[in-house]
Structure 1
Amino acid sequence: MVNYWKDKNLAVGTIKNRLADLRFVSKVIGKTNIIKSNADYAIGSRTSVATLNKAIFNADFSKIQDQYLKLSLELQQAFGLRREECLKIIPSLADKGNKLWLKGSWTKGKIERSIPIRTQAQKDILRKAKDFVGKGKSLIPQHKKYIQQRHIYNRETRAVGYKNLHGLRHAYAQTRYKELTGLECPINGGKTSKAFSKEEKQADRIARQIISRNLGHSRVAIIKVYCGK
């Protein structure tokens, strides 16, 4: 089971939490030796600072057959959306002129948020999505449920060579970091925080706060995973 989780690229913390749950169950049923220690499973320490850049820049979706999905992926790339968000989004409702509004029922944790619309490319893909589905319609076809469209998402993205597309959020975060600070982020070869001037430290801090809000994270510290430190 642990090897399966590793093959699925689950985070170290997630695997440790699942093993802790299994140990609790084994203790309740009186079989405490069923689940070995984390070290026995060669599970490393948690880390919150990225050492490998997982960003996916300029992803090619031209071979995606499902037009609904293709638009979802283009929105995901343009705005750093999560998978659920890019599928459930209702483009006509989300478009607030200078910002993209995400309804709570579309997001992780059911917390609404807004993402600035900064570029012409973002405006173009949003307009294309609105024109395609019409007013009040989501990017899930009316005859399908969310789970069905999610399966199509997984199947078609893997078919064109992507194991997962969380790297689109990494790319969005890194692009925003450079826009906001004028600096390349540490994970992409830029200076680390130890080398920052006083002004750069302030710009870095403000940028991370903004990016965490844009991505829908409650903790600023998580941006280390996307941009390094």
Structure 2
Amino acid sequence: MKLTTNRFGRTNPNSRNFGLRSRNITVAAKNALKEKFSAKANGFKTVQDNTNRFSQFASFVKSNYGMNDMRNITAQHVHAYAEQLCDRIDSGSLSVKSAHDYLSAVNSVMAQARGDHSVRVTASEAGIPNRSGITTVDKAISEHQHKHVIANVDDRLAAQLEIQRELGLRFEEAAKFNAKSALDEANKTQQVTISDGTKGGRDRCVPITQQSQIDAIKGAADIQQSDRSMIPSNMSYAEYQQQSYRELSKHQNYHSHGERHAFAQHIYQNEWEKKSGVPDIKPPVVVGIGHGCRHHQYLAEKTQVTPNEAKAIDQEVRSIVAEQLGHSRIDITNYYLG
């Protein structure tokens, strides 16, 4: 059968999977990429590589949204998938380059399948850092957006989002968080130990420095009641994750991982104030200036020290941020702070 080169050359372009001759999304995606090959828009190896990459997205939308038809895929679904890619970058299970490749495959397939770019999500829009690993887009959820979302999701998920914001937790860490035991620990030791769902199973301690953290933990403990964590006792983690992703996908441009970014920025500003006595010192991504020398000059001017002294202090501050995020490498802070 001779391949067409675009959607409108197909026999039934408005049928399931835009008429790409398969009821299976991944097979339909491969057929879309073969169309691009036929149009000399990509090579044979690209067809195979992008089919494999797209298959992960197909599994994501099927398991989280029960989706089996490309026609139902929206930009919100692509954003949700991109958030999962961000989580994997953060946990160290996916490189920045691979995240770009996976998202690019989704965009390539969907544009060919649809015949337009209406569900396209760029890496920048998705909050994926550039290939250097240094983010140039502020991905932190604002206080206004945070309050709007928690007011419009169920109480359990709202309590979890508060925990993510106040303690800097990943989605899985917050879902598996035992707020009841954490509340006792926080009151006794002014810190909480994060152990379940952490990167590499490595425990970390988050200092309790403000009342809003206690309030968030107490709110979560009240919701948790007799359950062992924020996951209801009648659900698995996978089921709870899927339910939560479906609910959060209704809120355009919201990603729960952005709560962790807000936490990182907050710690950065607080630590700089402790060390310099100067309030409101912001990371590069917030100020809108380049990572490195330009930002060191900004810090020097704000704190009346030399650029080299500012650089040394910045390294100390970033080390603290990395530790509270559960990372041993300072360069991971480039992903959060720029």
The answer to whether TM tops 0.5 is yes
Question: Match of 1:49?
Answer: 134
User: Out of 55, 64, 83, which is 2:153 matched to?
Assistant: 64
Residue 96 of structure 2 contacts residue 133 of structure 2 at CA under 8 Å; is this kept in 1?
Answer: no
Question: Match of 1:214?
Answer: 324
Residue 68 of structure 1 contacts residue 141 of structure 1 at CA under 8 Å; is this kept in 2?
Answer: no
- 1:83 maps to 2:167: no
Rounded Cα–Cα distance in structure 2 between residues aligned with 1:155 and 1:136: 22
Rounded Cα–Cα distance in structure 1 between residues aligned with 2:256 and 2:156: 16
User: Out of 266, 286, 303, which is 1:188 matched to?
Assistant: 286
TM-score after normalising by structure 2: 0.54
- 2:151 partner amino acid: S
The 1:123–1:173 alpha-carbon spacing in structure 2 relative to 1, beyond 3 Å, is same
Residue 141 of structure 2 contacts residue 254 of structure 2 at CA under 8 Å; is this kept in 1?
Answer: no
Deviations 1:49-72 (A, max 9, x none): 12111111211310102x221211
Deviations 1:118-157 (A, max 9, x none): 1111111111212332367211111111111101110111
Of the two structures, which has the highest relative contact order with CA contacts closer than 8 Å and spacing of 6 or more? 1
- 1:99 deviates by 1.0
- 1:14 deviates by 1.9
Rounded Cα–Cα distance in structure 2 between residues aligned with 1:12 and 1:212: 18
Question: Match of 1:225?
Answer: 335
TM-score after normalising by structure 1: 0.78
3-state SS of 1:151 partner: helix
- 1:12 deviates by 4.2
- 1:109 maps to 2:200: yes
Residue 157 of structure 2 contacts residue 244 of structure 2 at CA under 8 Å; is this kept in 1?
Answer: yes
Deviations 1:173-195 (A, max 9, x none): 11111110132111111760255
The 1:16–1:222 alpha-carbon spacing in structure 2 relative to 1, beyond 3 Å, is same
Rounded Cα–Cα distance in structure 1 between residues aligned with 2:100 and 2:213: 39
Question: Match of 2:315?
Answer: 205
Rounded Cα–Cα distance in structure 2 between residues aligned with 1:157 and 1:52: 21
Matches within 5 A, 1:120-131: 120-131=211-222
Matches within 5 A, 1:33-44: none
> Structure 1 unaligned runs (5+)?
19-42
- 1:14 maps to 2:103: no
3-state SS of 1:100 partner: strand
Rounded Cα–Cα distance in structure 2 between residues aligned with 1:128 and 1:54: 25
> Structure 2 unaligned runs (5+)?
1-49, 58-77, 86-94, 103-122, 124-129, 274-280, 301-305
- Paired-residue identity, %: 28
3-state SS of 2:242 partner: helix
Range with greater deviation from structure 2 (125-134 or 189-198): 189-198
Residue 64 of structure 1 contacts residue 160 of structure 1 at CA under 8 Å; is this kept in 2?
Answer: no
Rounded Cα–Cα distance in structure 2 between residues aligned with 1:135 and 1:118: 27
3-state SS of 1:114 partner: strand
Question: Match of 1:154?
Answer: 245
- 1:170 deviates by 1.2
Rounded Cα–Cα distance in structure 2 between residues aligned with 1:63 and 1:16: 31
- 1:89 deviates by 0.5
**Higher Rg of the two aligned structures:** 2
- 1:169 deviates by 1.3
Residue 173 of structure 1 contacts residue 226 of structure 1 at CA under 8 Å; is this kept in 2?
Answer: yes
- 1:163 deviates by 4.8
- 1:115 deviates by 0.7
3-state SS of 2:249 partner: helix
